[in-house]
Amino acid sequence: MMRKFIGVCLLIVTTIFFIGCGNAPSKTETNAGKTIVNKDVILATTTSTQDSGLLDILIPAFEKKTGYKIKTIAVGTGQALAMGEKGEADVLLVHAPAAEKKVVDSGAAIHRILVMHNDFIIVGPTNDMAQTKGKSAKDALTGIGNKEAVFISRGDDSGTDKMEKSLWKLVGIKPSGAWYQEAGSGMGQTLKIADEKQGYTLSDRATYLAQKKNLSLQILVEGDATLLNIYHVMEVNPEKFSKVNNAGAKAFSEFLLSSEGQGLIAGFGKEKFGQPLFFADGGKTEKDFGL
């Protein structure tokens, strides 16, 4: 009886194992005459590209065209860059120029190319106790700091967080105290917390527009040149990390900069939000933005 029981157990385990492995990535697949050796490409990116819905447009188009399969890991820019530095991702789409340069300088990533931009905005409660409306980003933050108005920081080392920290440095304020609160979460969640606490926060425009229906926060500061939010794509260096899928990374990078990719980016959001969420910048460099 027991032997039968063990037999049944073994049978279950083997079946389960095969079901479990059922959709393990196949390593070789032929597509349109050319052989793609490894079709899984790990894209490490920021939550804003996923939460805004942009990737839902770009990735299916890319996959259909090339036969690669993108595995999107949407984390903060800090974590995405860290994945690149460890060779755990193949391609990075992030928005923290200073931190990106460090990763390129270290040799972990190559071919850093500008893809698109949108802009950061400062949002806050309707009563705007620190009187920031229409001011420059610098004056607005100085006002918030001096008034000690509630400010919710992402606090997650993302691109937005890095931008915010650099702005505080720019105005010479070391934010601390009860008014400065670190959420430690993505942009969507941070906006919600700021809304609940009637505080200010720095957001990318795309996430704010996508979230607007749930928020009472208003856009108070926008259009300031210091608030540009620039996205670069980078390939993880295959010479440093032999296991990265560089062919796939290259294909994705090329797709983003192709006329099809740029067109998808430029058109995204127009219908739903009445304005584009991202501006396609293929061929431009940071110098074009005066950076």
Partner 1 sequence: MDMIVKGLIQGLQLLLSGDSEVLEVAILTIRVSGIATAISVLIGIPIGLWLALKDFYGKQAVNSIVNFGMGFPPVVVGLVVSLFLWRYGPLGELSLMYTPLAMVIAQAIIATPIVIGLSFAAIVSLNPKLRWQLISLGATRWQASWLLIKEARLGLMAAVIAGFGRVISEVGASMMVGGNIKGQTRVLTTATVMEVGKGNYDLALAISMILLLIAYSIVVMLTYLQHKGKSD
Q: Give least dist CB 127 to partner 1, A.
A: 23
Site for partner 1 contains 121 (CB under 8 A): no
18 binds partner 1 (CB under 8 A): no
Classified as helix, coil or strand, 253 is: helix
Q: What is the total residue count of the chain?
A: 291
Stretch that binds partner 1, among 82-90, 94-102, 124-132, 140-148 (CB under 8 A): 82-90
Which range, of 15-23, 121-129, 166-174, 266-274, touches partner 1 by CB under 8 A?
A: 15-23
Q: Rounded distance, CA 242 to CA 258, Å?
A: 27
Q: Which of 7, 11, 14, 25 binds partner 1 (CB under 8 A)?
A: 25
Burial of 97 (C-beta count, 10 Å sphere; 0-12/13-18/19+) = buried
Which region among 91-99, 210-218, 271-279, 283-291 touches partner 1 (by CB under 8 A)?
A: 210-218
Residues between 142 and 181 with contacts to partner 1, criterion CB under 8 A = none
In a 10 Å sphere around its CB, with 0-12 CB exposed, 13-18 middle and 19+ buried, how is residue 7 labelled? exposed
Report 177-196 residues binding partner 1 (CB under 8 A).
186-189, 191-192
Taking alpha carbons only, the member of 111, 89, 103, 119 closest to residue 207 is 119
Nearest to 229 by CA among 170, 183, 185, 291: 291
Question: Smallest gap, in angstroms, from Cβ of residue 206 to partner 1?
Answer: 11
Q: What are phi and psi of 183, to 5 degrees?
A: -80, -30
Q: Is residue 11 exposed (0-12), middle (13-18) or buried (19+ Cβ within 10 Å)?
A: exposed
Q: Does 2 bind partner 1 (CB under 8 A)?
A: yes
Stretch in the footprint of partner 1 (CB under 8 A) among 49-57, 97-105, 219-227, 251-259: 49-57
Residue among 74 and 167 whose Cβ is closer to partner 1: 74
Structure tokens at 237: 């260096």
Does residue 114 contact residue 230 with C-beta atoms inside 8 Å?
yes
Question: CB of 216: closest distance to partner 1 in angstroms?
Answer: 13
Residue 28 found at the interface with partner 1 (CB under 8 A): no
Which of helix, strand or coil describes residue 108? coil
Least distance (Å) between residue 12 CB and partner 1: 7
Q: Is 124 in the site for partner 1 (CB under 8 A)?
A: no
- Work out whether 130 is an interface residue with partner 1 (CB under 8 A): no
Query: Can residue 20 be called a binding residue for partner 1 (CB under 8 A)?
Result: yes
Considering beta carbons, is residue 169 or 272 the nearer one to partner 1? Answer: 272
Among 213, 271, 287, 290, the residue binding partner 1 under the rule CB under 8 A is 213
Ramachandran bin of 242, using left for φ above 0, alpha for ψ from -120 to 50, beta for the remaining angles: alpha
Q: Give the 3-state secondary structure of residue 173.
A: coil
Q: Which of 71, 111, 138, 197 binds partner 1 (CB under 8 A)?
A: 71
Residue 233: closest CA among 69, 91, 119: 91
Residues of this chain that interact with partner 1 (CB under 8 A) are 1-3, 5, 9, 12-13, 16, 19-21, 23-25, 42, 47, 50-51, 53, 56, 59, 69, 71-74, 86-88, 186-189, 191-192, 210-211, 213-215, 241, 243-244
